[in-house]
Amino acid sequence: MSIEVKVPVLPESVSDATIASWHRQPGESISRDENLVDLETDKVILEVPAPVSGVLKEIIKDTGATVTSNELLAIIEEGEVVDTAASDDAAAASSDETPVTTAEASGSTEKLSPAVRRIVTEEQLKADVIPATGRGGRISKTDVVNYLADDGSRGSRHEERVPMSRLRTRIAERMKEAQNTAAILTSFNEVNLQAVVGLRKQYKQEFIDTHGIKLGFMSFFVKACCEALKKFPVVNASLDGTDVIYHNFMDIGIAVSTERGLLVPVIRNAESMGLSEIERHVADLASRARDGNIGLEDLKGGTFSITNGGVFGSMLSTPLLNPPQSAILAMHAIKERPVVEAGQIVARPMMYLALSYDHRIIDGKDSVRFLVAVKEALEDPSRILLNL
């Protein structure tokens, strides 16, 4: 019996999707609920599972095609599933043209994507020697290109034109929109993190024992920003035409770097959370974003964002706004620098902070005072507890 596989109903905010990759080819077996195809939207990857067990009879829409809700993707012939691993091994032994699989060391038996398979075939590479860093232990195009670049003995000069992904295209559009629309300025300050570092060191194990999660820096910054936003609500506001919308809640976006690009999942009502709850939300959202399991609802909204270039070694930057938000705080690398305390020069863990803001609704004095409030809360964390 032939079963149709269709595009699931897309969320209201998503008009269409692009077929990112097929995990089975015609003639191959697949089990019910096993992921058949990945659909890429502007924000997330949607997995389409097989509705029944059987053999993939026909692919209607190829990789790269744009599809909409309920559009026909493929046809599966329902029936008993055969041992695909055994048949793949037998086919590989009898034909050099059989599609290459990833190495056993990579922990995956998935087929390589068409783009990766093409490069591997053209360059006559062995997949089992290419380090795999892609999702699920797959070999990505970047892995192959890096392998070719590192293998100087081959003397290969490889060049490939690759269309931007839906996510990368959307990121480019939003960043350009921010530059073209908002009057973006950036204010800078530096913060002495001696008190925060001391607290983390003093209560490190006790915090883990009590809450089951590590105490990081991000929770302190989220709390400090929430306290500063209470004092300067215009920084938490957004512009809609000629109206300024003041939000009485603080949904804080945390920028996460993923293989597909930058995502900004949102912590809802962060102002009402304690440090442990914030840490759990940050860890969960970051993990799901990197694994490709983040939902569209997790990326919607947000009234203020925080980005941490310090994890990559950045010392100073001017972050771009995440529309329609009016401000974003950038954290940077923590470095010991000489500072003067009580007339003495001492080494302290210092970090540069940068606040980019929309000067159309946020005045310079409010941006500077907001940044000072964040600095004061971090340099004396007791102010957060005392609501000062």
Three-class HEC string of the chain: CEEEEECCCCCCCCCCEEEEEECCCCCCEECCCCEEEEEECCCCEEEEECCCCEEEEEECCCCCCEECCCCEEEEEEECCCCCHHHHHHHHHHHCCCCCCECCHHHCCCCECCHHHHHHHHHCCCCHHHCCCCCHHHCCCHHHHHHHHHHCHHHCCCCCCCCCCCHHHHHHHHHHHHHHHHCCEEEEEEEEECHHHHHHHHHHHHHHHHHHCCCCCCHHHHHHHHHHHHHHCHHHHCEEECCEEECCCCCCEEECEECCCCEECCEECCHHHCCHHHHHHHHHHHHHHHHHCCCCHHHHCCCCEEEEEHHHHCCCCCCCCCCCCECEEEEECCCEEEEEEECCEEEEEEEEEEEEEEECCCCCHHHHHHHHHHHHHHHHCCHHHHHCC
What pLDDT, on the 0 to 100 scale, is given for residue 82? 58
Strand pairing category for 66-67 and 17-22: antiparallel
243 noted as active-site residue: no
Q: What contacts 24+ positions apart, CB below 8 Å, involve 199-206?
A: 199/381
pLDDT tens for residues 268-289? 999 999 999 999 999 999 999 8
What pLDDT, on the 0 to 100 scale, is given for residue 384? 78
Q: Does domain 2-154 have CATH number 1.10.510.10?
A: no
pLDDT tens for residues 193-228? 999 999 999 999 999 999 999 999 999 999 999 999
Q: What residue segments make up the domains of the chain, in order of their start? A: 2-154, 167-386
Higher pLDDT, 82 or 212: 212
What pLDDT, on the 0 to 100 scale, is given for residue 114? 67
What pLDDT, on the 0 to 100 scale, is given for residue 221? 96
Write down the mean pLDDT value for the chain: 85
pLDDT band per the 50, 70, 90 thresholds, residue 97: very low
pLDDT tens for residues 3-49? 888 888 887 667 788 888 898 888 888 888 888 988 888 777 788 88
Residue 109 in this model has a pLDDT that exceeds 60: no
Higher pLDDT, 114 or 252: 252
Amino acid at 73: L
pLDDT tens for residues 286-337? 999 888 788 888 888 899 999 999 999 999 999 999 989 999 999 999 999 9
Min mean pLDDT across 91-95, 236-240, 370-374 is at 91-95
pLDDT tens for residues 235-252? 999 999 899 999 999 999
Higher pLDDT, 108 or 25: 25
Min mean pLDDT across 94-103, 144-153, 197-206, 230-239 is at 94-103
Residue 107 in this model has a pLDDT that exceeds 80: no
Higher pLDDT, 65 or 378: 378
What pLDDT, on the 0 to 100 scale, is given for residue 61? 87
- The reported pTM is 0.68
Q: How many CB atoms lie within 10 A of CB 187?
A: 20
What pLDDT, on the 0 to 100 scale, is given for residue 255? 93
Higher pLDDT, 178 or 267: 267
Q: Which residues contact 357 (CB under 8 A, 6 or more apart)?
A: 184, 185, 186, 187, 235, 321, 326, 327, 328, 367
How far apart, in Å, do the first and last CA atoms of the chain sit? 69
What pLDDT, on the 0 to 100 scale, is given for residue 96? 41
pLDDT band per the 50, 70, 90 thresholds, residue 388: low
As a whole-number percent, the residues of the chain with pLDDT over 90 amount to 45
pLDDT band per the 50, 70, 90 thresholds, residue 371: very high
363 noted as active-site residue: yes
The one catalytic residue in 33, 150, 291, 363 is 363
Q: Which residues contact 370 (CB under 8 A, 6 or more apart)?
A: 228, 229, 231, 232, 235, 327, 355
Crossing angle of helices 218-231/364-379, nearest 10°? 140
Higher pLDDT, 374 or 259: 374
At the fourth CATH level, the homologous superfamily of domain 167-386 is Chloramphenicol acetyltransferase-like domain (3.30.559.10)
The one catalytic residue in 33, 89, 150, 359 is 359
What pLDDT, on the 0 to 100 scale, is given for residue 189? 97
